[in-house]
Structure 1
Amino acid sequence: MDNLDLVVLRTLRDWRHKGRRALLATVVRTWGSSPRPIGSIMALCEDGTVVGSVSGGCIEDDLIYRFTHAYSGKGEGGDIPQGAPQLLKYGIRADEAHRFGLPCGGTLELLLEFDPEPQPLSELVAQLENGKLMQREVRLADGHVSLRMAEQPSDLSISDTVLLNNFGPEYRMLLIGAGQLTEYLATMALFNGFTVTVCDPREEYRGNWSVAGAELTAEMPDDVVREFRADRRSAIIALTHDPKLDDLALLEALETEAFYIGAIGSRSNNNLRRERLIEYFDQTEESLARLRGPIGIFIGSKTPSEIAVSIMAEVLAVKNGVTLPRDMDVAAAKNSMGVPPNDTDLVCSIG
């Protein structure tokens, strides 16, 4: 499943190459609570078709009303204008915030680009499809677009003269082990816009793999981690329970900038793993600080599908910069369920 930004840009490119009028809306500023983060994009075609999102739907409806004839049966709507980009604010007043479904006190500002040139869109989409990180610069005076390779991800910025927004590469996830839990987790990761690679040298596990869209490889996990070249948009998760497969791969992962590195296992199993890595591989508590385990948010899970939900939730929380007071929450949740403090059999991932 493609990254949503890529879907929006590809669709907009196709509209423009067919000569259809369209606009690109980008969230450039927010104040207070906002339904979508800065950098979110959507495209609107002249016939009222929308792809992407800048809100929960109400702002999209207003843009359709303002700039298309989708409501022509009532004599409403207008044409997509021509000329320089425009800034448009929503939610300045309490009644407007309520009308557009913004949280109390929420305000957002959009930059609207009218009829973006198709050639730069084609170039941008092609680079993103090749896994490149690109910076798109929009000159506010006339909408002229410049593209360049970006060295590293950065947040959107806007000045009085230009908008700078980075796109791609997609978030990636490398899963070690091709068991049932991995199938559920890979499916959820694909649904959330990750590119997924699964490695497992064990033929008996690969033979039953059934998740379309995830790349499957039979190479040894530590070799795959090296070739994966994880960056700050990468997650690496070991799911085999086999130290021969997991441990060396995790050591390689810790040498990368991956934003999430974790391994399946109960608390006792994860403690044993840390002891092994310290004793036999000259690691320290400091060098293992980024290694997560047990993985997942504690939700009392016992089935592979629910465990996958808990892991995916934690990955997304870390990706989105959410602090998780895991130890405190797990202890409190277990106490409320009457789970003995030393019980490590409830869930293999988060027990």
Structure 2
Amino acid sequence: MNAVDVQVLESAIRWLDQGRRVALVTVARNWGSAPRPLGSLFAVSDAGDFTGSVSGGCIEDDLMGRFADSFPDKIEIARYGLSAEQMRRFGLPCGGTLELVIEPVPDSASLTPLLGAIKTRTLVKRTLELTTGRARIETAKSNHAFTFTETQLMQVFGPQWRLLIVGAGQVSEYLARMAPALDFSVYLNDPREEQRRNWQVDGVEWLAGMPDDAVLAFKPDQRTVIVTLSHDPKVDDMALMEALKTDAFYIGAIGSQASTQARRERLLTLDVSEEQLDRLHAPIGLAIHSRAPAEIAVSILAELILLRNQAVSVTAGSSCVVGVS
């Protein structure tokens, strides 16, 4: 789940603890090009507070007006974009259509386990029975897809994405600044004291130790990205020789085509197999002909977004149609 939806859950829990009524709105189905992906959340309190989004703003405004007149006390299904007038009124792009589940949340206890799952890096699935309004939370597998039927809404919640940067430098600083906006919590390892002393970005968690030990202690999983950006083989290779043996979603290394070939040859002498090396993205990032540090950081994030969205599409199947044309 993304950082925006975490904020939605946190706000909803706070409002419920303050004694307010809260409705949770979920994008359950879309056709054509839709502004927000399946599972996106929007929360509203009976005091008029709101957070999150299900569109570019017009649908949220309509929902707020609807709730001001009559706050929901049972599950409702709302559809937008079915007519030309609705598409004009609500500004849905490219003829997109949305179907929303509006769920009155009974108490904060029904949502707190979801935030707990994120904090403990545990995947859980929340199944909402549309006929009764009851929700249950169970352990999930990574291949569980978002599901919406006439009787159920099932959504997976779990750990946010982690980005481990090995090597502190200009590219790393730009990457560390940009990544949190894209749902990455950022961690950094660099054994070189002078690099750490000159680091300029706040909000990054430093990992102690040599790069290989830091990677092992980090316990990479399928929502972990590891990038080596030091340009120093003594630093980058130590991290890569352990990272390539983990379940990390993405492992990338900075460098030219020539340095990439030399790196492969070195890693083969460090107990790394050809199969493991095939997982390495190097040179790192999309080829946007960039040389400036900020542009390189953008190219790295662009590749991560591309691969992450492709993985989500494969998991969700053809029902997940997201994008603006």
TM-score (ref. length: structure 2): 0.89
Inter-partner Cα distance in structure 1 for 2:266 and 2:109: 55
C-alpha displacement at 1:295, in angstroms?
Answer: 1.3
C-alpha displacement at 1:61, in angstroms?
Answer: 1.1
Q: What is the aligned partner in structure 2 of residue 295 from structure 1?
A: 284
Q: What is the aligned partner in structure 1 of residue 315 from structure 2?
A: none
Q: What is the aligned partner in structure 1 of residue 128 from structure 2?
A: 138
Inter-partner Cα distance in structure 1 for 2:238 and 2:167: 14
Counterpart of 1:288 in structure 2: which amino acid? L
- Please, which of 300, 304, 309 is the counterpart of residue 315 of structure 1? 304
Q: What is the aligned partner in structure 1 of residue 295 from structure 2?
A: 306
The answer on whether the counterparts of 1:137 and 1:164 sit within 8 Å (CA) in structure 2 is: yes
Inter-partner Cα distance in structure 1 for 2:224 and 2:119: 17
Inter-partner Cα distance in structure 2 for 1:266 and 1:155: 38
**Is 1:107 paired with 2:97?**
yes
Q: Deviations over 1:249-269 (max 9, x none)?
A: 213222222221100111111
Inter-partner Cα distance in structure 2 for 1:277 and 1:128: 34
The percent identity for this pair of structures is 47
Which structure 2 residues correspond to residues 1-351 of structure 1 after superposition, within 5 A? 3-68=3-68, 78-83=69-74, 85-152=75-142, 154-279=144-269, 281=271, 283-284=273-274, 286-321=275-310
Counterpart of 1:273 in structure 2: which amino acid? R
Q: Which has the larger radius of gyration?
A: 1
Tell me, what secondary structure is at the counterpart of 1:112?
Answer: strand
Inter-partner Cα distance in structure 2 for 1:227 and 1:150: 24
Inter-partner Cα distance in structure 2 for 1:30 and 1:86: 16
- Relative to structure 1, is the Cα distance of residues 275 and 94 closer, same or farther in structure 2, using a 3 angstrom cutoff? farther
- Relative to structure 1, is the Cα distance of residues 278 and 131 closer, same or farther in structure 2, using a 3 angstrom cutoff? closer
Q: Deviations over 1:183-232 (max 9, x none)?
A: 11011111222111101111111112232221112311111212222222
C-alpha displacement at 1:161, in angstroms?
Answer: 2.4
Inter-partner Cα distance in structure 2 for 1:52 and 1:37: 12
Inter-partner Cα distance in structure 2 for 1:6 and 1:87: 23
Tell me, what secondary structure is at the counterpart of 1:287?
Answer: helix
Q: What is the aligned partner in structure 2 of residue 329 from structure 1?
A: none
The answer on whether the counterparts of 1:172 and 1:196 sit within 8 Å (CA) in structure 2 is: yes
- Relative to structure 1, is the Cα distance of residues 282 and 53 closer, same or farther in structure 2, using a 3 angstrom cutoff? closer
C-alpha displacement at 1:31, in angstroms?
Answer: 1.2
Q: What is the aligned partner in structure 2 of residue 75 from structure 1?
A: none
Tell me, what secondary structure is at the counterpart of 2:138?
Answer: strand
C-alpha displacement at 1:294, in angstroms?
Answer: 1.1
Q: What is the aligned partner in structure 1 of residue 321 from structure 2?
A: none
The answer on whether the counterparts of 1:124 and 1:134 sit within 8 Å (CA) in structure 2 is: yes
Query: What RMSD in Å do the two structures reach over aligned CA positions?
Result: 1.9
- Relative to structure 1, is the Cα distance of residues 215 and 288 closer, same or farther in structure 2, using a 3 angstrom cutoff? same
Counterpart of 1:10 in structure 2: which amino acid? E
**Structure 1 unaligned regions, length at least 5:** 69-77, 323-351
The answer on whether the counterparts of 2:23 and 2:103 sit within 8 Å (CA) in structure 1 is: yes
**Structure 2 unaligned regions, length at least 5:** 312-325
Inter-partner Cα distance in structure 1 for 2:157 and 2:149: 19
The answer on whether the counterparts of 1:28 and 1:110 sit within 8 Å (CA) in structure 2 is: yes
Q: Deviations over 1:270-291 (max 9, x none)?
A: 121122223554532x432221
- Relative to structure 1, is the Cα distance of residues 94 and 256 closer, same or farther in structure 2, using a 3 angstrom cutoff? farther
Inter-partner Cα distance in structure 1 for 2:218 and 2:208: 14
Tell me, what secondary structure is at the counterpart of 2:98?
Answer: strand
Counterpart of 1:53 in structure 2: which amino acid? S
- After TM superposition, the structure 1 stretch with the greater mean CA deviation from structure 2, 58-67 or 274-283, is 274-283
C-alpha displacement at 1:21, in angstroms?
Answer: 1.8
Runs of 4+ in 1 over 4 A off after TM superposition: none
C-alpha displacement at 1:153, in angstroms?
Answer: 5.4
Inter-partner Cα distance in structure 2 for 1:261 and 1:191: 20
Q: Deviations over 1:280-312 (max 9, x none)?
A: 54532x432221111122334332122211211
Inter-partner Cα distance in structure 2 for 1:88 and 1:13: 23
